[in-house]
Amino acid sequence: MMTTERANISTLTRESSIALFKEIGQIIRSGQVNMGRQHYALSLAHGVQQAIHCGYDKIVAIELGVAAGNGLLELCQSAHFFREYFGIDIKVYGLDGASGLPEVADYRDHPELWTAGDYNMGDPSILRKKLPHFAELIIGDVGETVVEVLDKIGDAKIGFVSVDLDYYSSTKRAMRLFSDPNPEKYLPALPVYFDDMDSLITLNEWCGEAAVINEFNTEHQYRKIDRKPYFNIPHFHVCHVLDHPLRQGLAKPRIPLSLYDF
């Protein structure tokens, strides 16, 4: 049974973890505790549960595409809850160019939906002032800033990523985030939210985020992104890090990774 006190990670078993996260899932879905966007909170919860099972105490949550910062601030709300409840270190990074969408490269960027300059952040210092101590806003083209984040995170594991860059061209450049040669920078099954998959009539498999995912899966033998509709979280995907020692049978998790939806 969940209490308001900090959970004791060291006594968790697979069974008690499944029961506890089921309860956390219900709390998020019912809105009983405000953790911001439910799809962020639930996706991050899957990252936190997996980190605990693996024995990791430092994870990182990243939002690619921040605009005015509503999503980033809500992700911070979720991270705050899990930091307090489990006592694990969660850092949050938001990556954005600050001046809104760049120029459209071609039809794959959906020019029928978006125009250069849309979602301009304005002065980044205004958003920076609202962020908690464990969050950081990094300004620049995502093609470069994802490399900066991969350097910055040290021995923490990437535990959740939200991809909301709208364009094919921007998302394509940002995918370097998922292909670092060191598989131990990631959870073995990293939860990823892709915002623009199929909710609008012109979105399709040959443009935008969906095309980038298909190409990424073709280009990488040991990194594969798939959608998990069974988990009942809008746009929930997993990046399978198949070269991770835990997925190669070279190491065992502290608690088995046979985990369900919640």
Ligand X SMILES: C[S@@+](CC[C@H](N)C(=O)[O-])C[C@H]1O[C@@H](n2cnc3c(N)ncnc32)[C@H](O)[C@@H]1O
The residues of the shown chain that bind ligand X, judged by CB under 6 A, are 63, 65-67, 70-71, 96-97, 100-102, 119, 121, 141-142, 164-167, 170
CA angle 52–57–63, rounded 5-degree value: 90
Q: How far is the CB of 231 from ligand X (least distance, A)?
A: 20
Residue number with CB closer to ligand X (56 or 193): 193
Q: From the CB of 144, what's the least distance to ligand X, in Å?
A: 8
Q: From CA 40, how far away is CA 192, in angstroms rounded?
A: 9
Q: Long-range contacts: 83-88, Cβ < 8 Å, 24+? A: 83/134, 84/6, 85/6, 85/7, 86/6, 86/7, 86/9, 86/48, 86/52, 87/6, 87/7, 87/9, 88/9, 88/48, 88/51, 88/52, 88/56, 88/57, 88/58, 88/59
Whichever of 21 and 168 has its CB closer to ligand X, that residue is 168
Tokens representing residue 147 in the block: 């490399």
Nearer to ligand X, 49 or 162 (CB): 162
Least distance (Å) from ligand X to the CB of residue 10?
36
Could you tell me whether strands 236-241 and 223-227 are parallel, antiparallel, or unpaired per DSSP bridges?
A: antiparallel
User: 122 or 256, CB closer to ligand X?
Assistant: 122
Three-state SS at 117: coil
Beta-bridged to residue 186, according to DSSP, are 158
Smaller CB separation from ligand X, 48 or 137 = 137
In the β-sheet with 157-163, what is the strand arrangement from edge to edge? 135-139, 89-96, 58-64, 157-163, 189-194, 236-241, 223-227
CB of 166 to ligand X, least distance (A): 5
Q: Which has the closest alpha carbon to 21: 57, 45, 4?
A: 45
Instruction: Please identify, using beta-carbon distances, which residue of 72 and 239 lies nearer to ligand X.
Output: 72
Collapsed DSSP state (helix, strand, coil) of residue 96: strand
- DSSP 8-state class, residue 6: P
CB of residue 62 to ligand X, shortest distance in Å: 11
Closest to ligand X by CB, 37 vs 46, is 37
Task: Report the nearest approach of ligand X to the CB of residue 141 (Å).
Answer: 4
To ligand X, the closest distance from the beta carbon of 77 in angstroms equals: 13
From residue 181, how far is each of 143, 176, 256 by CA, in Å? 16, 10, 25
